[in-house]
Structure 1
Amino acid sequence: MRFSARNQLRGTVKSIKLGAVMGEVIMTLPDGQEIVSAITRTSIEALNLKEGEAVVAIIKSTEVMLGRNEE
């Protein structure tokens, strides 16, 4: 997976909380730090995110996005 954004952090999904419209994904970085991302429930489902999976946080000046490898 390649992105044009330079600020990328690799980690693992620690937990997912789903709301009616939005969700919260907590990811753990290799050094133990955590990042919390608020993304739509639709995006969580489209990415098929699961706890324990590897993800990449893409950090832009106005937002943080998550991505995962297709397998």
Structure 2
Amino acid sequence: MRISARNQIKGTILEVTKGATTSHVRVDIGGQIVTSSITNEAVDELGLKAGGKAVVVIKASDVMIAVN
């Protein structure tokens, strides 16, 4: 797979929770958990399930950082 996004992080799928149309996929990326909302159809097409390997790709127009 080739993709232009540079923020790619390998991880392990912890959980896939399906809703009516959208699934929440939780991925462990070295002790931190990233959650993505994707369609149920995408989950099925990609064969996502707990314990599987995945690459988290982050492509956002805005990223905010705050400190206390």
Q: Which category of TM-score, normalised to the shorter sequence, fits these structures?
A: 0.7 to 0.9
Q: Which has the larger radius of gyration?
A: 2
Seq. identity, %: 39
User: Partners of 1:23 and 1:50 in 2: how far apart?
Assistant: 11
User: Partners of 2:51 and 2:27 in 1: how far apart?
Assistant: 9
Give the ranges of 4+ consecutive aligned residues of structure 1 lying more than 4 Å apart after TM superposition.
none
Equivalent residue number for residue 2 of structure 1: 2
Kindly report the root-mean-square deviation, in angstroms, between the aligned alpha carbons of the 2 structures: 1.0
Structure 2: 5+ residue stretches without partners: 62-68
* Larger relative contact order (CA 8 Å, sep ≥ 6): 2
Letter in 2 for 1:27: V
The normalised TM-score by structure 2 is 0.83
SS of the counterpart of 1:45? helix
Equivalent residue number for residue 14 of structure 2: 14
The normalised TM-score by structure 1 is 0.80
SS of the counterpart of 2:51? coil
Structure 1: 5+ residue stretches without partners: 63-71
Residues 1-71 of structure 1 aligned to structure 2 (within 5 Å): 1-30=1-30, 32-62=31-61
